[in-house]
């Protein structure tokens, strides 16, 4: 779908409109709104090198669209600017999160997935922003304003775009960082055909720090700013549809959906504030729940309890696969202790599912029982 070109616009109209757009975005609940151009040649070079090395694993969609991901005007012809927005999501203190990682019988779920799936919430607000722009440009007699809303719904280099829009810099852990708030936020975009004034790109403030690289449980970072997704726990527990490599299972600990370590130990995140969005508050006590409780959910309970959650999309088999690994790791932490009731309960739960699930789940249960 092509965005038609607008008629002549004055610089004063564009400047005023850009300021209004930022104001409207904040009123809609976004924490930051910025504007960038569409020149992403440096980011494109980094992306293609990453793909060439095979670091994307089975995420074929990263390569599927060729240059459309790094050239917005190819994805949506007529695009000349991108409006980027930030929405904070951290639901609780980072101290609570780090303490949870020390409790092997409890589940650690990436903080972004504890509440409602962010896609619909952000898309709705971005569409409201787009509608406001449409109404305003109509009142200003600006012909043919065009825009498209994106929230992980198309091939978009959102972090590179957001960096150019001044929302933050891409840190050594490949996440976007902001000096005042850290990295606990979602991104969304509006592709637009209006030549709005652009914001200054963010400067990098990582310095010599390598905390994010050093704490990665599976050593997934090949170098600063370069992640081998095939070793990343987020990839292994979410995007990966097959077996988790045996050599990485023991390093996953109790992380059953995603991993936040590179954010939890980033010094800039000491400035992060908890979200004000009620939709991002934890559901079903997923921020403090025993692995066994989740492992004992039936498939219907899994579907019902995770209705409206990003977690649901991995499917029931992957859910059990991930928890089986975590339960195996919980058993391993007690291997030097006399058998206790928790140990027996874990083994009993694993054995109960050993002959009734898919081959994928059985393999991981068998591994867990050997721990």
Q: Report the alpha-carbon angle 168-169-173, nearest 5.
A: 120
199-229 burial, b if ≥16 CB within 10 A, otherwise e? bebbeeebeebebbbeebbbebbeeebbbbb
Q: Are the CB atoms for 116 and 279 separated by under 8 Å? A: yes
Q: What is the SS3 assignment for 237?
A: helix
Give which of 29, 129, 136 is closest to 82, Cα–Cα. 129
Give which of 327, 299, 325, 329 is closest to 314, Cα–Cα. 299
CA distance 302 to 254: 19
CA distance 92 to 83: 29
Q: Tell me whether residue 59 is exposed, middle or buried, using C-beta atoms within 10 angstroms of its C-beta: 0 to 12, 13 to 18, 19 or more.
A: middle
The single-letter DSSP state of residue 235 is I
Tokens of 42: 């440096």
Q: What are the catalytic residues?
A: 152
- What Rg, from alpha-carbon coordinates, does the chain have? 22
The single-letter DSSP state of residue 283 is S
Neighbours of 317 (CB within 10 A): 16
């Amino acid at each position: 779908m092509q965005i038609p070109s607008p008629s002549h616009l004055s610089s004063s109209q564009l400047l005023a409109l850009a300021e209004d757009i930022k104001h409207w975005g904040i009123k809609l609940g976004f924490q930051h709104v910025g504007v960038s151009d569409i020149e992403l040649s440096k980011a494109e070079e980094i992306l293609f090198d990453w793909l060439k090395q095979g670091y994307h694993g089975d995420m074929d969609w990263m390569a599927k669209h060729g240059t459309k991901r790094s050239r917005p005007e190819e994805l949506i012809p007529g695009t000349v600017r991108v409006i980027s927005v930030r929405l904070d999501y951290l639901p609780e203190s980072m101290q609570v999160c780090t303490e949870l990682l020390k409790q092997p019988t409890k589940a650690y779920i990436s903080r972004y997935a504890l509440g409602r799936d962010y896609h619909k919430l952000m898309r709705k607000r971005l569409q409201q922003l787009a509608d406001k722009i449409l109404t305003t440009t109509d009142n200003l007699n600006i012909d043919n304003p065009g825009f498209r809303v994106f929230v992980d719904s198309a091939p978009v280099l959102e972090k590179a775009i957001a960096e150019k829009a001044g929302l933050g810099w891409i840190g050594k852990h490949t996440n976007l960082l902001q000096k005042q708030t850290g990295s606990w936020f979602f991104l969304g975009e509006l592709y637009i055909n209006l030549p709005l004034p652009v914001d200054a790109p963010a400067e990098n403030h990582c310095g010599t720090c390598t905390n994010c690289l050093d704490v990665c449980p599976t050593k997934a970072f090949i170098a600063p700013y370069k992640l081998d997704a095939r070793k990343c726990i987020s990839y292994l527990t979410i995007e990966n549809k097959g077996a988790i490599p045996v050599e990485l299972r023991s390093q996953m600990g109790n992380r059953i959906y995603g991993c936040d370590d590179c954010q939890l130990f980033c010094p800039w995140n000491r400035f992060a504030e908890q979200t004000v969005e009620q939709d991002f508050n934890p559901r079903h006590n997923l921020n403090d729940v025993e692995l066994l409780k989740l492992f004992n959910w039936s498939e219907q309970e899994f579907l019902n309890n995770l209705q409206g959650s990003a977690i649901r999309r991995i499917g029931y088999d992957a859910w059990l696969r991930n928890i089986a690994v975590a339960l195996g790791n919980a058993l391993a932490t007690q291997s030097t202790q006399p058998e206790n009731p928790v140990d027996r309960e874990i083994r009993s739960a694993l054995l109960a599912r050993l002959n009734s699930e898919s081959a994928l789940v059985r393999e991981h249960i068998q591994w867990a029982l050997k721990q």
